[in-house]
Structure 1
Amino acid sequence: MTRLLLILSLFTCSTLSFAYSVQPMVSEISPSGSNSQLMMKVENTSTEPLELQIDPYHLQFNENQTEELVEAYDDILVIPPTVTVQPGQFQSILVRYIGDPSILTSKSYRVVFDQAEVQNNADKGQSSIKMKYQFLTLLNVKPANSSPDIKHERTYTDNGKWFLELTNNGTSYARLSRMEWKVGSPGSLLAISANDIRSHVSGNLLLPQQTRSFEFIPFDGIEPQAMAVQITESK
């Protein structure tokens, strides 16, 4: 299987004539049964036809904690894998898990919507530029009764930045902004809102049986080095 290191460039120039959206960007399905598939929707909001290649990849993190993608055609079926969407129109995409239905821990995937190269001739007198646009959606396959179990390993600094080292000892992925956080000194923990977590912690996904370090901005009034952290699944 071909290993691909995730490289994503996002362009938001308003002069470009090609634009589209994909929904949902984050989703969860089951490994078996009627909930093992979902419909995704692509909308072409431009004035030109949109050509897309849609491919599934297994999401994992390498030793440098960089996201890495591995082709996952044996696990995820995409129908149709290529589409042409006319201006102002929608296209539905069926995404189905066809891997091992008896998995005990969750698996995470990227369903990548890859647009054909776009010729940008917006600026007269300048050389045209070929650009490639991608939407990388997150698809989680979660078995019944699986759950994350997050442990705060340590808080440390590196090159003047603060980091939280977290381990997921559970059987399900965790999206940190969807977990319930309490921080403070041991024996005196305060609940932190999801908005505060998103603004203070860089990064969100923690896979089962994985340890990752997340850069964070210290919370007001709490000494980072002595900070106690409790992260539990939202009820």
Structure 2
Amino acid sequence: MNIGTRLSLIAGRSTRPLRHIAVAIAAALALVVAGAVQAYEVTPMRVFLQPGGGQNSATITINNIRTEPLPVEIQVFRRVVKADGEQVFEPADDEFITFPPQVQIPAGQSQAIRIQYVGELGETSQAFVVQVTEVPVNKLEGTGIQFTYNFGVAVYVQPPRARARLAVSEAAAADGVLRFKVANSGNDYGFLTGQVLEYNVGGTRVTLTPDDVATLVANPIVPPGATREFALPLDKSIAAAAATGPVDVRLLRGES
């Protein structure tokens, strides 16, 4: 599941071999139609809740920018981030109340979705994803192929005085790749994005802006009490100097 946008294919009345063909065609067409076909808008894309301070709910707005009704359903998943950045999503609907859980939004209209955390607040922050899923409506005319879109809203439930504490270790450069680990000893989620990252490889110092980091790092999240592994590609000239000097990586802005 993608936290941003995911494009899926619904192929009705197809035999199994035809499904594979349809998926292959859809993969090619997706590059063409991505800019032309608009789905719908969801805001905001990231929410922070602090139940200990009385903020246990938020509102998500879905804007249907199509010329036809948009049926959607809302589901909640717990987000587990592994050391290599792989993400696992576990059902967590029992920890939230969402209203309405399903709705059909008229063309050109917006719908507010209220989410309320009703789970148990722990000593460390918890991460969830509120997924807005378009419910496919199979159409018999034409090809029978229909594109649907999913949006995931990242939700962080924070305890009082939540704070991330990030530290870099085990930096090494080999085979044109800079590898390092980031440990989070705090009780809140840390993010590499929004920070300046500086590394020194063989005497060559490079500074990456927050925008650079956002481009190079697909999943910048470091959970509380966890250690993440990161890898960045190196320019050939810098990679060649890796064997001639020390390798160092530093985060220069903030701790979260």
CA RMSD, Structure 1 to Structure 2 (Å)? 3.4
Q: What is the Cα deviation at residue 148 of structure 1?
A: 1.0
Q: 1:85 aligns with which of 95, 100, 105?
A: 105
Alignment partner of 1:109 is 2:125: no
Identity over aligned pairs, percent = 21
SS of match in other structure, 1:54: strand
Q: What is the Cα deviation at residue 120 of structure 1?
A: 7.7
| Counterparts of 2:222 and 2:140, CA distance in 1 | 41
Letter in 2 for 1:233: G
Show CA shifts across 1:99-123 (max 9, x none): 113x21111100000101255899x
If each structure's strand is expressed as a fraction of its own residues, which one has the higher value?
1
Maintained 8 Å contact 1:18/1:48: no
SS of match in other structure, 1:105: coil
1:25 maps to what in 2?
A: 45
Maintained 8 Å contact 2:100/2:113: yes
Maintained 8 Å contact 2:176/2:234: no
2:16 maps to what in 1?
A: none
| 1:60 to 1:9, Cα distance in 2 relative to 1, 3 A | same
Letter in 2 for 1:95: I
Maintained 8 Å contact 1:18/1:47: no
1:144 maps to what in 2?
A: 160
| 1:172 to 1:15, Cα distance in 2 relative to 1, 3 A | closer
| Counterparts of 1:156 and 1:67, CA distance in 2 | 25
| 1:66 to 1:221, Cα distance in 2 relative to 1, 3 A | closer
2:63 maps to what in 1?
A: 43
Larger deviation, residues 31-40 vs 9-18 = 9-18
SS of match in other structure, 1:133: strand
Alignment partner of 1:193 is 2:199: no
Larger deviation, residues 47-56 vs 13-22 = 13-22
Matched ranges for 1:40-79 at <5 A: 40-62=60-82, 65-79=85-99
SS of match in other structure, 2:214: helix
SS of match in other structure, 2:160: coil
Report the TM-score when normalising by structure 1.
0.79
Maintained 8 Å contact 2:172/2:247: no
| Counterparts of 1:121 and 1:160, CA distance in 2 | 52
1:233 maps to what in 2?
A: 254
SS of match in other structure, 1:148: coil
SS of match in other structure, 2:51: coil
SS of match in other structure, 1:96: strand
| 1:32 to 1:81, Cα distance in 2 relative to 1, 3 A | farther
| Counterparts of 2:38 and 2:111, CA distance in 1 | 16
SS of match in other structure, 2:94: coil
Larger deviation, residues 17-26 vs 212-221 = 212-221
| Counterparts of 1:111 and 1:210, CA distance in 2 | 23
1:211 maps to what in 2?
A: 227
| Counterparts of 2:53 and 2:59, CA distance in 1 | 15
Maintained 8 Å contact 2:129/2:154: yes
| Counterparts of 1:57 and 1:212, CA distance in 2 | 21
Structure 1, unmatched stretches of 5+, are 1-5
Structure 2, unmatched stretches of 5+, are 8-29
Q: What is the Cα deviation at residue 159 of structure 1?
A: 7.2
Larger deviation, residues 91-100 vs 43-52 = 91-100
| Counterparts of 1:52 and 1:203, CA distance in 2 | 27
